[in-house]
Structures are given as C-alpha cells and as structure tokens.
Structure 1
Amino acid sequence: MTERQDPTCSARGCRAAAQWALRWNNPKLHTPERRKIWTACDDHRASLEEFLSLRGFLKDTVSTKELT
C-alpha cells in the first residue's frame, strides 16, 4: 500500500501545500455533472479562481479536507 500524499498547488512552479480544491468543468468537453479539480494554496487561490471564472469553468471551491 502506498502512502497518501498531501496535495500541492496546481499553479505553475508552486510546490506549496494546497488548502483549496477548485472544482470546474469545460462544458465544450465535459458532461455537466463531471468535475475536474485544481488544487490551490492560499497565495494562488484567487488567481486560479479568476482564470477559471473568466472562462465560465469554475463551479465551486471547497477545502481540500472536504475531498477525503
């Protein structure tokens, strides 16, 4: 059995621990109920949410603790 690793931030070049899960989907590619997940640290949460929101992809943001 492998050890579960804590998620790291999805921002390019960031290796910080992620506290947030940004759930999104691209309606041109995914069914409405499908959710992809990017993880974010506190420093990158707003910029990643903005990136997804501007494209109409962001569905919600939750704590990574809610994913377990």
Structure 2
Amino acid sequence: MTAEAPALICSAKGCRGAAAHALLWNNPSLHTEERRKVWLACDEHREHLEEFLTLRGFLRETVDAHAIPEGAG
C-alpha cells in the first residue's frame, strides 16, 4: 500500500483550488539569499500573488507546483 501525496492547495486567502504553480520567494531582510519560501497558486490567483511578492522585492521564481526544489518551504 502506498501513501497518497497531499493535495496542493492555493495559498490565496479563501481559495481551496488546486495549485498549479509554486511561487518561490524570500524576504532578504529575514532570510539568507539561498532560502526559498513557497506559496502555491491556482491559475486564477497566480498573477495576483506574483504581483504581491514582486512589489515587495520577494519573488525569486515561479515553477510548476510539482517541481518545488528540495529544501524549499
């Protein structure tokens, strides 16, 4: 018997949609340059979440939700 992977749910407030994208970010005043935090986004909320992080200088890259680098989180 194999364990089922947990569902990837969008990080947008109030959204329970399936995440298709992983937004990798860090706050340079709190995190080291190589540290990556992750927000998940459905197609509908990707642009909004990317804009939020970009305006603050936090967004580093966006990848497929199933391609989150090891150690990010």
TM-score category of the 2 structures, normalised to the smaller one = over 0.9
TM-score (norm 1): 0.93
Higher mean C-alpha displacement, 20-29 vs 58-67: 58-67
Deviation at 1:7, TM superposition (A): 0.8
* Number of corresponding residues: 68
Structure 1: gaps of 5 or more residues: none
1:43 aligns with 2:44: yes
TM-score (norm 2): 0.87
C-alpha deviations, 1:41-60, integer Å up to 9, x for none?
Answer: 00000000000000000000
Identity of aligned residues (%): 59
In structure 2, C-alpha distance between the alignment counterparts of 1:55 and 1:18, rounded to whole Å: 22
Deviation at 1:3, TM superposition (A): 3.5
- CA-atom RMSD in angstroms: 1.5
Structure 2 matches for 1:1-68, cutoff 5 A?
A: 3-67=4-68
Q: Which amino acid aligns with 2:10?
A: C
Q: Which amino acid aligns with 1:52?
A: L
Q: Which amino acid aligns with 1:45?
A: R
